Amino acid sequence: MQSSAPRTLLVRGGDPRWNALFAAALPGLRVVAAPDDAESIDLFAGWNPEPGLFARLPRLQAVFALGAGVDAFLRRPDLPGSLPLVRLLDAGMAEQMIEYALLGVLAWQRHLLRYEALQQQHAWQPQAPRTRAGTRVAVLGLGEIGAQVARALSGLGYPVAGWSRTLRDVPGVRCSAGLPALGPLLEATDVLVNLLPSTADTRGLLDHARLAQLPSGALVVNAARGDQLDAEALLSLLDDGRLGGALLDVFASEPLPPEHPLWRHPQVRITPHVAAVTLPERAVEQIAANILRLQRGEAMHGIVDRARGY
């Protein structure tokens, strides 16, 4: 059946500002905040809407995620497999992620966790200086965000290795692809930055065996999804003194439960899923351009490949 040009956008951004931005960017479209007239809604933009919502919208033509990672959308039984699911491509997140990754890199290079511990003891103990050239960084995931992070860190003088599913070419970055390349990469990494999407292939990827391949004292930055990293394995490797620290933004269960041991570990630093937040103006600009493409019958940018899972 031929779909008619979309006319009504349901927005569930968690803040009324989203609706105003969409209405201003798409004056020809009706922008609504509730699915009162479910038959009229042909577009959706949001993040983690209530369960079952998509099954109640029979005329949906496309779903726009207000974020980069769509694992939560793909887990939903109410999202028809045939419906285009469109995600954000960078939209200002890569720049924030560069800063976050750099935070981890500098924490390792400048012994920040060690000095914090020494400060507790009022101990004046200079550590052996580390250079940028001697700080080996690996970025897992060389997509819209990871490639920019890898490139930026390389531009600052860090030796950067990048890893992806298919071989990528990122200037200044030593690229490799596929599982057989992962072990050798981990063995030569001081700061591991995870920027992979959560898929059937990446969930649980950073398990005890793989984390144990990192050199002694390495630091793990996880800013992708919590289900990719075995938190218990991380804690045990930190306790054994095998790993030096972790900067964690994402967790298997969010918010991280108050009783979780990660909160208390002296070598773990926690941020509440804010490494790279969605910037409403940039997101609306990108989604509006896609809606106009859809109305013109053109291909949208950022359609998720359901078979790959990202």
The binding site for ligand NAP (CB under 6 A) comprises 68-69, 93, 141-146, 163-166, 168, 195-199, 201-202, 223-225, 249-250, 273, 275-276, 310
Complex with ligand NAP: residue 49 or 197, whichever CB lies closer: 197
Other C-beta atoms within 10 Å of 141: how many?
Answer: 25
- Selected catalytic residue, list 151, 165, 225, 265: 225
Complex with ligand GLV: residue 159 or 280, whichever CB lies closer: 280
Is residue 225 part of the annotated active site? The answer reads yes
Is residue 260 part of the annotated active site? The answer reads no
69 binds ligand GLV (CB under 6 A): yes
Contacted by 19, from ligand NAP, ligand GLV, none: CB < 5 to 8 Å by type: none
Question: Quick one: which of 67, 104, 143, 244 contacts ligand GLV (CB under 6 A)?
Answer: 67
Contacted by 144, from ligand NAP, ligand GLV, none: CB < 5 to 8 Å by type: ligand NAP
CA 23: distance to chain centroid?
Answer: 28
252: phi then psi, degrees, rounded to nearest 5: -60, -35
Contacted by 214, from ligand GLV, ligand NAP, none: CB < 5 to 8 Å by type: none
User: Distance (Å, rounded) from C-alpha 49 to C-alpha 120?
Assistant: 44
User: Distance (Å, rounded) from C-alpha 291 to C-alpha 294?
Assistant: 5
Residue of 26, 24, 68 whose CA lies nearest to 43: 26
280 binds ligand GLV (CB under 6 A): no
CA 231: distance to chain centroid?
Answer: 17
Complex with ligand GLV: residue 35 or 67, whichever CB lies closer: 67
The footprint of ligand GLV (CB under 6 A) covers 67-69, 278
State the catalytic residues: 225, 273
